[in-house]
Amino acid sequence: MRLRLLLARVWPLWSIKGLAYSEDAQHGDAELDSTEMGLLRPRDSDVRAAAKATIDAMNDKFYDSSKASWSPSEPWWLSGVALSSVIEYMRKTGTNDYVDQVKHIIQTQRGNLSWWPQGNGDFRADSTDDTGWWALAMVAMYDLTQDQTYLNISIEDEAYIYSYWTDKPCGGGIYVDIKKKTYKNAIANELYIKLAASLHNRINGDTEYLAKAEKAWSWFKGSGMINGDNLINDGLISSSSGACSNNKLPIWTYNQGVILGGLVELFIATQNTSYLDAASTIAGAVLSSPLLVQNGTLTEYSCGTSSASSSSSSSSASSSSSSSSSSSSSSSSAGPKTDESLCNTDQQIFKGIFAANLAALDAYAVAGGNSRPYASFLAQNAQTAYALDRRAGFVVVAANSTSTSSTNTTNSTGTGTGTGTGTGTGAGQRLAADLYDVGWAGPFRNATLAKQASVLGLLVATL
């Protein structure tokens, strides 16, 4: 049963269970939908409204405009990932809601980094993966605006990252940590492949970036990082002879994700379906893993099954650096129930990165004659997160306020009462302020930027 109320303009909601809010961007109208379980209707305006509510809450709770980043005390790369999702939201919905904020972030963050001035700005950081996240955000911004300024920044970043490629050890690959040059890992190389192939697809007549992307993928494929289960461990360990092998460090979801996006870009560049086949093999291995997908929900199982210690890589902002070294590799039997509340702030964002890149593959892959083979998985995860992992709430904005400075965030989950009046103009406007925790199957306890941006990645993936 659905109750539909068309209101004259975007109107606040009280996100009590069973009420989902949706907004018709075309007409500026809003509707309130009553559904049995507060479920989203995938691929329509409900998901768009849920994604927007997630961005608004992320801004309200975590954005520091004076520092031009979200949660400035947390790792810098997280804001780069969040930025990509906000840009993708605008591109997919054909809106410009956050473009001023995004430009402010880029303008500030591309400055000479106080903690790594050696890079001379434009996102050239002390680890190649950190540069990679921001460079991909610049590619997304180019796609949104067609402004060459942004592509030029990502071109500079590619050169910077590639300068940390060496043939020895390991027969190739990019170092993740610029200061120590000790660790060739999955994420730095996956980001590089995606970036180089993305540049090729956006630069007329390019041959250089395609050749480099193909070289990097060819190396990656044979490097040993992809294990016998077609899942990717954290990185490589080198012997004194210069030979390298899989270091058996955890199978993080984002390491199964970014490579999918890179292989899709390589397919777009070449129309060679071998890239889609390789991506589909990895994606299939994730979706059929009882550890990474528990009861249908993508799960960062390594957080909960290992004693957090280790600093095998030393990049402070590199997620891999803070990962544990518990060695168990994936097996076919389900382990103990994962406790994702043990995920550190880096690890909390990983699943959203996987989802975003799985969506990129979904747009091109065909499985068993069916297009969009991963859409139902993504939609199911979005439903789960929306229904079980969300703290519904709202922000009260004073009627005469032009900003959210006078906000008062509260929550009304399950009460059905709310606290605002919901009457017409003048009483103040209430905007959705949904927050999310780390485990997509819930429960909600508290939010962080990384948890929030992870779900944002998931919701934008289903748009």
Which amino acid type is present at position 312?
A: S
The sign of the CA dihedral 39, 42, 48, 52 is positive
Give min distance, CB of 342 to ligand NAG, in A: 8
- Residue closer to ligand NAG by CB (options 84, 411) is 411
For helices 99-109 and 76-93, what crossing angle results, to 10°? Answer: 150
- Residue closer to ligand NAG by CB (options 274, 331) is 274
Calpha distance 140→2 (Å, rounded)? 37
- Residue closer to ligand NAG by CB (options 278, 459) is 278
Give min distance, CB of 27 to ligand NAG, in A: 29
- Residue closer to ligand NAG by CB (options 28, 117) is 117
Residues that bind ligand NAG (CB under 6 A): 112, 117, 120-121, 148-149, 152, 272, 274, 295-296, 341, 391, 398, 400-401, 406, 408, 410-411, 419, 444-446
Dihedral (Cα; 100, 393, 380, 388), 10-degree rounding: 140
SS3 30: strand
Give min distance, CB of 341 to ligand NAG, in A: 4
Which strand (E) or helix (H) includes residue 384?
A: helix 375-388
Give min distance, CB of 247 to ligand NAG, in A: 25
- 158 close to 188: Cβ distance less than 8 angstroms: no
Give min distance, CB of 410 to ligand NAG, in A: 6
Using alpha carbons, select from 25, 41, 43 the residue that is nearest to residue 33: 41
- Residue closer to ligand NAG by CB (options 89, 444) is 444
Strand-strand pairing, 393-397 and 429-432: antiparallel
Which strand (E) or helix (H) includes residue 63?
A: strand 63-64
The token pair at 294 is 């528990």
- Residue closer to ligand NAG by CB (options 270, 329) is 270
Give min distance, CB of 424 to ligand NAG, in A: 17
